[in-house]
Structure 1
Amino acid sequence: MINVLFVCLGNICRSPLAEGIFSHKIKERGIENLFNVDSCGTSQYHIGEQPDPRTVANAKENGIILDHEARQFSKVDFKAFDYILAMDKANYDVIERHDQNQHYTDKFYLMRDFDPDFKGEDVPDPYFGGEAGFQHVFEIVDRSVDSFLEFLIKEHDIKESGAN
């Protein structure tokens, strides 16, 4: 089982979107049984809440159904997940600070480390913007997830079985 965790600030916009897109893509490829996928936030602002309605609506318009309850990042996530992808540098830094002895740094990535167009940049937070910002974030996360998934398929020599 390959365990993947997507992390943003509140766990109601970017990270549940990444979780939803990734889950959708692995199901399409018939490899969802190889993965455990989750998302969380570094803050406690929205614990227990569903994703932002604007994120849910945008995802649905793009064929992705989101079903997630926000939770906060915890040190147990270091052991539970093989890949921890932060949506931006600020949240990456928070995760890194939790790893005080630097035992897990090989698991940390920025989501856009896998963006073929803008490697290493932040996924912008659409929370305070309009609908166009949510679509922009969807497009960034979608292409980054594609690249990340290709990385995982090569890294773990995964054989795809096609759509279920």
Structure 2
Amino acid sequence: MSKPPVRVLFVCMGNICRSPAAEIVFRDLVEKAGWKERIKIDSAGTIGYHSGHAPDRRMAATLKARGYSILGSARQVTPQDLEIFDHILAADRENLADLRRMDRHGTHHSKIRLLTDHCQSIDADHVPDPYYGGQDGFERVADLVEDACQGLLEEIEKEL
């Protein structure tokens, strides 16, 4: 009997910059590692304002310049996501708090963590929201996400 796939959810506020960036980068790493059938990946936002929208054009351009394929559309995180996903990774402490409030009984707190907990080379305690800044912010997000996703993949490979 085969094990069910490991399910990973990336979460930020609007699901148009940070969490889709993490989904895109992680999906690329997973595919290159040959784990596409064993690791399922999604992203969501704590608010639904951008639901149905593609990733932010500036974030998409930043990732595309690094060789990533851009896909996906924004959606809002649901209480069912807390049940379904094995790893729920928040971009910052506000997102983390929102997710933990959603988990009223604390049943899923152990699988709700900060994405930056997985950083290997960059010392960071959150992925900053680049939305209102310049290109440097999008580059910083891409750097953090690439570092954290590599560390996350190494952790999850131990579960497979």
- Class of the TM-score when normalised by the shorter of the 2 chains: over 0.9
Partner of 1:118 in structure 2? 123
Measured in 1, the distance between the counterparts of 2:72 and 2:100 equals 24
Q: Deviations over 1:131-156 (max 9, x none)?
A: 111011100110010011111112x1
Q: Does 1:60 align with 2:93?
A: no
Partner of 2:39 in structure 1? 35
Runs of 4+ with deviation above 6 angstroms:
none
Question: Which amino acid in structure 1 is aligned with residue 123 of structure 2?
Answer: F
Question: Which amino acid in structure 2 is aligned with residue 132 of structure 1?
Answer: D
**Aligned partner of residue 40 in structure 1, secondary structure:** strand
Q: Deviations over 1:61-83 (max 9, x none)?
A: 01111211100010000111000
Q: Does 1:131 align with 2:135?
A: yes
Partner of 2:50 in structure 1? 46
Aligned residue pair count: 155
**Aligned partner of residue 136 in structure 1, secondary structure:** helix
Q: CA deviation at 1:115?
A: 1.1
Question: Which amino acid in structure 1 is aligned with residue 119 of structure 2?
Answer: D
TM score, norm. by length of structure 2 = 0.94
Q: Does 1:106 align with 2:93?
A: no
Q: Does 1:11 align with 2:6?
A: no
Q: Does 1:88 align with 2:92?
A: yes
- List runs of 5+ in structure 2 lacking aligned partners: none
**Aligned partner of residue 55 in structure 2, secondary structure:** coil
Question: Which amino acid in structure 1 is aligned with residue 116 of structure 2?
Answer: R
Measured in 1, the distance between the counterparts of 2:151 and 2:12 equals 19
Q: CA deviation at 1:44?
A: 1.4
**Aligned partner of residue 33 in structure 1, secondary structure:** coil
Q: CA deviation at 1:45?
A: 1.5
Using the TM superposition, name which of 30-39 and 6-15 deviates more.
30-39
Provide the alpha-carbon RMSD of the alignment: 0.9
